[in-house]
Amino acid sequence: MSEIDELASGLRRRLVEESRLGRAGIANDRGALRGRIAELIEENAELLSTPERDALVERVLSSTLGLGPLEPLLTDPEIDEIMVNGPDAVLVEKSGVIERTAVRFDSTDALVHVVERILSPLGRRVDEASPLVDPSGRRASTSGLASSTHACPTGRA
């Protein structure tokens, strides 16, 4: 894991901890959360350039409120399906051809967080007791969350 990866992961963990300790008011306010992330970067990464700081804010914001490293794949109109077979194995299907991507999750926990973000608004979950889910045409299946997670389609036909 690179220093930037470690910094992003640490910032996200700190945000989660702050939320648990009562600063939850910013958790659903994207603007306030963006500001808090910028403050934390200022405190912890003062040597970064402005573009690097901006990119880090977006990365931490995406991993906190969005779907983390999957976000760029979700916006690519050429991608028909995204398949996640673990934190280091993200594949996509484009025009019927499956190919490996350079996309990686920082950890299994980061991957589990994304799966939970996909399913929680639907009142669903994926775990060893309930390894298969097909909520509204989207599916996620696991062979135990610690080992791998499969298939998070984009929903595009």
Give 33-96 as a DSSP string.
Answer: HHHHHHHHHHHH-TTS-HHHHHHHHHHHHHHHHS-GGGHHHHT-TT--EEEE-STT-EEEEETT
Q: Are 150 and 84 in contact (CB under 8 A)?
A: yes
Q: Are residues 56 and 11 in the same domain?
A: yes
| Structure-block tokens of residue 119 | 């399913």
- Give the domain range for residue 21: 3-65
Helix axes 50-65, 3-20, angle to 10 degrees: 50
> What confidence score (pLDDT) does residue 97 get?
95
Q: Are residues 83 and 144 in the same domain?
A: yes
What's the whole-number mean pLDDT along residues 79-99? 90
Residue 47 lies in a domain: yes
Which phi and psi (to 5°) does residue 155 adopt? 85, 0
Residue 157 lies in a domain: no
Q: Are residues 76 and 39 in the same domain?
A: no
- Per the structure, the count of domains in the chain is 2
Q: Are residues 133 and 95 in the same domain?
A: yes
> What confidence score (pLDDT) does residue 156 get?
43
Domain finish residue from 65, 85, 113: 65
User: What whole-number distance in Å separates Cα of residue 125 and Cα of residue 91?
Assistant: 22
Residue 155 lies in a domain: no
Q: Are residues 94 and 58 in the same domain?
A: no
Residue 131 banded pLDDT, cuts 50, 70, 90: low
Q: Are residues 74 and 135 in the same domain?
A: yes
Alpha-carbon Rg for the chain, nearest whole angstrom, is: 16
> What confidence score (pLDDT) does residue 157 get?
37
Q: pTM (2 decimals)?
A: 0.64
What's the whole-number mean pLDDT along residues 8-32? 75
Q: Are 134 and 150 in contact (CB under 8 A)?
A: no
Q: Are residues 84 and 142 in the same domain?
A: yes
